[in-house]
Structure formats: C-alpha cells, structure tokens
Structure 1
Amino acid sequence: MMNFQQMYQMYQQPQAAAAQTAQAQQQLAGYADPQQLQMQAYQQQMMQQQQLQMQQAQQAQQVQQPQEDLIGQEEHITVAGCTHATVGGIVRGNFTVLGENHGRPTYKKDQQVNGLDVQMYYWDERDGPNFCGWWFGPKVGGDQVWAYHPSSTATTPPKTGWKVPYDGPVDQSFVISVNQQGSVLKQQQAMQQQQQQQQQQQAQMYEQQQQQQQAYQQQQQAYQQQQQQEQQQAYQKQQQEQQAQQQAYLQQQRQMQIQQQEMKKQQAAEMQRKTEEMNRKRMEDQKKKAEEMKRAQEENAAAMQVRRVVQKVRMAKEETLALLQQELAEIMQKELAKCGSMQAKVQEECTLCVEQAKLNIEKMKEAKVKEEERKVELAKKLKEAQEK
C-alpha cells in the first residue's frame, strides 16, 4: 500500500515540473509581462498552500495515533471476530462513516442484516454514566443493542475491548480495523482527482498565456484606434458644441419671445378680468340700489295704507271708534309686515292713535258736559234777570 510520504512526493513532482517549465519559458522569451508575473506568483502561492495542507494532513495523521488503540479518523472500517453466535453474524463486515452523534462519528454497515441497518455510534452521559460509550444497534439511540464499549474518552471507535452482548464479558476476538481496500481506493481516487486538477490547471495556464498575448496585441491595436477615435471625437465634439451653442442662443431668443407674448396675454387677460369685475360690481350696485328703492317704495306704500286708517282713528268719534279699530287691525295684519324697517314706527303710531282717539273722545265729552252746564247756568241767569 502507498504511504502518505509517497503520495506527497508524487503530488509535488508535477507541481515542480510545471514551475520549472514556466520559468524556462520566461527566460527564453526574455520578456517579463506583469500579468504573467502575477499569474506565476499566484501559482507559487497555490503550491505553497497545497504543500502546507499536505503537511498538516500528515501531522494530523501522526497526532491522531490513538492512545487508547482507536481506529482514528477513517471512513472505511472492518469488524471481525466476535464469538457470539447471533451477534457475530450481525456485526461482522465492512462499515462506512455515516455522520455524527454527540460530537463523534457514526458508522453504518454496507449491507443490512435481516432487513435491519447495523450502525455504530457514540452516546454521551445525558442518560447517565451507564449509557455512555460506543454501541452497535439498528439505529442511533435505539433500545435494541448488540455490542458495547464503555469508553467515554475515545473520540473514534476503539479497536478492542468490546462487550458482547452489551452486559456480557469483553470478547477478545472482537476487533475493528481499517478497511485497507476502501482506504486505498479512496487514496487512488484522490490522486486521480489531483492529477486531473493539475492537468486542468496547466491547460488553463497555457490558455491564459495565449489569451494574455492576444490581449496585449489587441490592446496595442485598441490603443491606436482609441487615439484616432479620440481625435475624431474631439473634432466632432467641438463641432457639436458650436452647434449646440448656436441652437441654445436661438432657443433662448425663441423662449424670450414666447415669454413676452405670454406676458402680454396675461396683462390683457388681467385687464379684461378687472374690467369685467368692475362691470359686474357696477351692475350689482345698480341692482342693489334698484331693489332697495323698490323695497322702500313698497314699505312706504304699505305704511301709507296703514297711516290712512291711523288718521281716521285719530279723528274717530265715540260711536265710530270700535269700527275704525277693527279696520285698523285688519290693515295692520295685511300691510304691517310689508313696512320693513318702518314696521316698528308704524306699529307705535297705530298704538298711539287709538290712545289719542280715546283721549279726544273724553275731551269732547268733558267739553260737551261743560257746554251743557254753561247753557244751564246761562239760562238760569237769564231767567233770574227776567224775574227782576
């Protein structure tokens, strides 16, 4: 079987050859392109990183040499031995790493037994120290188990020291070892993958060199074309700027004319609006005055109708007063509301005229009584004078 050091040397040989080839090509060309130097620096950096990773992997293998005789970080393992008649047929065979449980790897047998999976896993002390350790069972954490190892410090499966069944004695024939066939196959696949990657990288490097040379030539041609285009563009830009300035001047003149015309329109519209506003206000004033005059005439006419009756009441006699009061009440009901602002004054006149009429009637009565008394007194005096 090829060891790790041989794999590392095989990996370094094509890398060193590629670096020497690139260096020789540079010396023959006699020209150090900056992009090529940058690419070479990148390649050297990648080689250094790969060498460091290989060294770390080698150191990790050395560090992982188990102190408790552990299997180590292996993906493919084999279980052999086991004298138990039932459990032996279940656990013996090849296993492949499946995942992780409680921070440590789990393994699954490559074939099922009686329709059941066969798994190996670690269980920590969460359910008590008696359940802590490595187990064989159909599923992780299941109730059915076939073999048990009590180690709580083993970070990978122990090679020996397994109890079969889980509460029985240690079976010395029960041994876990590395599946050499699976490991070799894995290493060969890794080497093939690395060689393919190296070939792809070399092809990419050659293609990049060709692309860089073509890019340099294209860059020179593009530079010359760019110079010509820039000169032509500068001339065209100058012509365009002159045309743009001329167009801007003409546009400014047209804009000023439009603004002047718009200002004249606004002034004319404002003048027309003011004229229409003045005419409207004048017509409203005239209409208001006419309405006020008409209303005043109507109020005066209504007041005259009432005042005619008021005058008649003032001159009423005792026998006509009641009838004239009735006439006054009727005319007030009909015309008083039409008196408008004169309503209060007319109503006061109506009230005073009745009082004045009554006062006049009383005065007339008193005058009549006095006249009768005067006549009686005069007749008496006349009679006395005749008797003498």
Structure 2
Amino acid sequence: MLARIFDDKELMKSLQGAQYDMMLTDPNLAGGLLMAHYLKLPVVLNARWITSGEGHFAIAPSPLSYIPVTGSGFTDKMTFVQRVQNMLHYSIIVYQQRFVVGPIYDAICAKYFEGGCDIISLIQEADIWLMRSDFVFDFPRPTMPNVVYMGGFQCKPAQPLPPDLEEFVQSAGEHGVIVMSLGTLVNALPVDITDQIASVFAKLPQKVIWRHRGKIPSTLGNNTLLVDWMPQKDLLGHPQTRAFVAHGGTNGVQEAIYHGTPVLGIPLFFDQYDNLLRLQERGAAKILELAMFNGPNFQQALNQVLTHAPYRENMQRLSRLHRDQPIKPMDKALFWLEFVMRHKGASHLRTSANRMPWYSYHSVDVLLLLLAAGGGVLLFTGLLIRILWRTCRKNRNKTKQH
C-alpha cells in the first residue's frame, strides 16, 4: 500500500502542494511517519504502541527491573525470576523490530528516500507524543518532556439512556444492572462459553445488558437483554450499573475508571491482560482468563466483584484521581496540537539522547576511560612499591655486608 502511494506521482505532488501544517498519526503502523518525513512535516503521535511494542521504550529510560514489558503479564513489583523473564521478553521485541518489522520499512526507505531512513529514528524524532494513558491507570515510570498523557480523553459524563433501555435498567430495582461487552473485534464467543455465561447471568438477581452477536444462547434468562450495540459510556456512568464484564481494551478500561465501575475482565488478546492487570493490582478488577473459564469460575468471580465492596471503592478512588486534573485530557491534547502548528514543531522538547550511540548514552566510553585511568594508577602504584621494595632490600643487604 505504501509503495503504491509513493509511486503515485500525481498524488504525492498534490500532497506536497497542499502545504499541510502537521502530521497526526498512529505509529503502530508507520506509514504516516514515512509520509511526514517525505513531506517534511512536524509530527504528533497519537500513541500507545509503536511498531515494536509500547512507545515509552523507544524514547524514555525504561529500567526492566520495574517496568514490565507488554505481554509479560508482570506488574512493577517483580521477583528475580520475573525480572529475568521480563528481560527475555524485551529481547524478543528487539529481535522482532530489527529482523522482522524493521526490514519491511527499511526497503521502503531505501527505495523512496535518498540516503534511506530508519523507522525507529523517525519515531524518536516525533515532536509530541499524545499518549493514550496516564498514571492513574499505568504503573509509574520515567518519561520525557514531549510526552503528553491524555488517558481517558474520550470519556464524558453519562447522558440519558434511550427510553426503552432506561426502562429496562430501572426495572432492575435495588439489585442494579451488569453491563457486558467484549469489544468490536470479537463477533461471538464459542457457543459452549456463551451458554455458560448466559446460565450464570440467569441465576443473578441483577438485570444484564449484553452486547452479543451470533446465536442466541439456549440458557438465556429473562433478566438478560442482548443488544447489537449499546451506549457503553452512558451505561457505565448510570447509577444502577454494578459491574462491567469486559475484555480489557484500553478504551473500555479507561471508561470504567472514569465512571468508577468495577470490572470483571476476560482478556482475549493483544494488551488486554496487561490492561486488566493494572486494575487488578489496584484492587479495582478481577481477571478470569479464557483458558480457566467455566460456569462455576465465572459465577464465583462475578459474585466477588458484585459483593466485595473494595472493588467498587477502589475503582471509585481511581475515578476521583483521574478526574482531579487542572485540564481535561482532550483540551490538553488540543492545546499541544495547536502548539505544534503555531511553532512548526516542538524540537526544543526532544532529548538529544536519541542521537547518541549506545555506548555514549550509557557512558560506557567514560567508564572504560575511568577504569583505564584507575587501572593505570594502580599499576603505577604497584610498580613504584615494587621498585621501592627492591631498593630497600638492596640497601639492607649492603648494610649487613658492612
């Protein structure tokens, strides 16, 4: 696709003539970065992931002793064995970038850019990173001046529900409702799993709103409403909502934090387990892995989230922390977008570390010099002591002879 775009001379000429102010792109797929490099535009990244994993690892100090690699399933408190595994996970990511992902973009760089280019260098040279995260959700870690955190930027106060949905929610009475959605990428779970889920829901006093596509479960109870689409943000913010059964996608997790709704997570793929792990570590969610899924386990986990007050209390505490900001995440993002357009970039916020060779960045050359100097001093001192010792022995022998 990228090659076809760059080969289209008329398209490229029209893009150059348009005189854009800025490139806003997601670096998970790096086509936008290459286009910005070609058009010589300032770059703002709408990011959490890059071509080789989590974005911070490309630009900020990332000690593997307490920063878990995505996919490792670890928190920021790791045992020795986990730290070893974390380093191995990171080595795999580096290998994939260098030998699997990198060569794909290197071929395009070599063909369309004089002197070539390096995709990681282009990522590191971005003016501003609009990071779809924050430290209410994520573990604390080092960062950089050009990283702007806008986690939950899509979240808003709940709006009134459609009348039919509001009627269903209110019919739940004091027991409230459970909201379930596994996102847009999964159309339907296996039939045996959906039957077990429906069977557990049917035993509950709560009403359930379940975003479900596919065959209607044979065990569906009268308290469960199946829908193709739901106003998820508005349901999570409804005072009747008691729990959110979710797959752990970033948007859904941040909406649950914003509205203070505890989560029962069933992670399926990508970053979902790691997202849910961050909530579980803070006591605001419980994870039930698909490999361990069955009716009794699901019922037990759901009852825990519904009946143990700390889940809701901890999630509401996270909600208060998330909302207690001087500037709303969306307003913050808009300010920095306009800032880059006004000033034709934000190069003054970029660290020079990305342009340093690895041995300079880690001061290996300085350490080698200091070690060499220290070794030289020790060697000189040793030789001096040896010479003085020999001289003293000679003088002693002469004294004995006389």
Normalising TM by the smaller chain, what interval?
Answer: under 0.3
* Structure with the higher fraction of residues in helix conformation: 1
The structure whose Rg is larger is 1
TM-score (norm 2): 0.23
Bigger relative contact order (CA 8 A; separation at least 6): 2
Provide the TM-score with structure 1 as the length reference. Answer: 0.24
